[in-house]
Structure 1
Amino acid sequence: MKIALLGYGKMGKAIEEIALLRGHQIVIKTSDEDGYDITQADVAIDFSVPKAAFFNIAKCLKHGVPVISGTTGWLDNYENIVSICKEENGAFIYASNFSLGVNIFFELNKNLAKIMSQLKQYNVSIEEIHHTQKLDAPSGTAITLAEGIISEHSEYSKWLLNESKEKAIPINAKRIDSVPGTHIIDYSSITDSIQLTHTAHNRQGFALGAIIAAEWILDKKGIFTMKDVLNIG
């Protein structure tokens, strides 16, 4: 499989390492928004920056190259990408987190939210901790977790960053050197607390999930999620 790495920072390098170990070839690795021939690739993996993500994804779709994106912070343009994908009969996966463990965590979060929706004495909050180089806050993973709770728990209608209000899930974002990513869901009452936690030990889990998604999307058409890749939920 010939892979284009659109975004060649720490995640791009981790993806490259695992891709080569799995017998794939890297034909493009760039952090530029232009100047590359995407038609060289069988599939593209976008871990760029928010301002470049839309351009990268649209370029792939318009040239018939399946693309997966783990870039966060660009989702105001998500519906435009959906439209382009449909118009071009392309293939696209977006995930706020490609880690296999995190995607299982997403499902556990939704199942727990469904149970806790019947227990009004518990208040929920989310804490996310990442390395200091992470550009966005809260993390895309934390937002996905909050949206999963909202979809199953009628007491909540939105999330707020570092702020508590009625009907809102507070997300506390922390930035600490050398932390790949920790997410904690906390349900607390005056009598006890229930916590669901995912802790990443390194970037390899994210990189492996991205490669597995790229392998899966070959020869497919449509808009998918990691739930499709892992056949869960």
Structure 2
Amino acid sequence: MKIALLGYGRMGKTIEKLATERGHTVVKTIDQNDDYDFNEADVAIDFSVPDAAVNNISACLKAGVPVVSGTTGWLAKYEDMVSLCKKNNGAFIYASNFSVGVNIFFELNKQLAKMMQHLKDYNVSMTEVHHIHKLDAPSGTAITLAEGILDHSHNTDWVLDKEETDKITIKAEREGEVPGTHTIKYESQVDEITIEHKAHNRNGFALGAIIAAEWLRDKTGVYSMKDVLNLS
């Protein structure tokens, strides 16, 4: 498989290494202000920055190149990209986190939320910890987790680094080179229940994106990691 990398930072370089080990070839790396000559790429993987993501994804869809995006912080334009994908009969996967373990954690989070939704004595909160270079807060993964809880909760929204009635508090911490830790806590006066996912390195995110790209090749439509991993 021939891959175009949109964004060639630490994640891009990790994807390149793992993709090469899996027998794929990176035929193009595109950073900001580079041209969009995809060199006959079979698929593109976008791990860029929020300001570049929409242009990157749009260029792929207009060029007929299936695109997998793990860039967060641009989702106000997500429905525009869905529409563009359908208009061009393209192929598109966005995920806030491509790690196989995290996507299993997403489903575990939803199941726990369903079990807790009628237990009003428990208050739910979340903490996410990432490296100091991360540009957005809270993380896209934390937002996805919060949305999974909100679908099965009396809470109406999430808030960052503060407490408000009927809202899920997300505490965002930035420390060193932490790849990503997400902790969800249900607490009452008598006990607490905690579930956590802790990434040991970035390889899980990169490998998941490559698996998604392998799956998306030669398909059309808008998909998620639930489709890739058959978690529906």
Same fold (TM over 0.5): yes
Identify the TM-score tier after normalising by the shorter chain: over 0.9
In 2, the alpha carbon distance for the partners of 1:229 and 1:39 equals: 26
- The residue that corresponds to 2:159 in the other structure is 160
- The residue that corresponds to 2:125 in the other structure is 125
- The residue that corresponds to 1:87 in the other structure is 87
- The residue that corresponds to 1:13 in the other structure is 13
In structure 2, the residue corresponding to 1:124 is in which secondary structure? strand
- The residue that corresponds to 1:105 in the other structure is 105
Q: Deviations over 1:24-65 (max 9, x none)?
A: 000011212441302521000000001100000000001110
Contact 1:127 1:185 in 2 (8 A): yes
In 2, the alpha carbon distance for the partners of 1:86 and 1:34 equals: 26
Q: Which amino acid aligns with 1:125?
A: S
Contact 2:27 2:39 in 1 (8 A): no
Contact 2:28 2:39 in 1 (8 A): no
- The residue that corresponds to 2:73 in the other structure is 73
- The residue that corresponds to 2:207 in the other structure is 208
- The residue that corresponds to 1:49 in the other structure is 49
Contact 2:36 2:59 in 1 (8 A): no
User: Aligned in 2, Cα 1:59/1:172: closer, same or farther, shift over 3 Å?
Assistant: same
TM-score by length of 2: 0.99
Aligned residues: 232
Contact 2:212 2:228 in 1 (8 A): yes
In 2, the alpha carbon distance for the partners of 1:32 and 1:73 equals: 16
In 1, the alpha carbon distance for the partners of 2:39 and 2:64 equals: 8
Contact 1:39 1:65 in 2 (8 A): no
Q: Does 1:186 align with 2:182?
A: no
User: 1:178 deviation in Å?
Assistant: 1.4
Q: Which amino acid aligns with 1:181?
A: G
Contact 1:66 1:218 in 2 (8 A): yes
- The residue that corresponds to 1:231 in the other structure is 230
Q: Name segments (4+ residues, structure 1) moved above 6 Å.
A: none
In structure 2, the residue corresponding to 1:152 is in which secondary structure? coil
Aligned-pair identity in percent equals 64
In 1, the alpha carbon distance for the partners of 2:208 and 2:119 equals: 35
In 2, the alpha carbon distance for the partners of 1:161 and 1:98 equals: 23
Give me the CA root mean square deviation.
0.8
Q: Which amino acid aligns with 1:216?
A: W
Contact 1:33 1:55 in 2 (8 A): no
Contact 2:5 2:26 in 1 (8 A): yes
Q: Which amino acid aligns with 1:102?
A: V
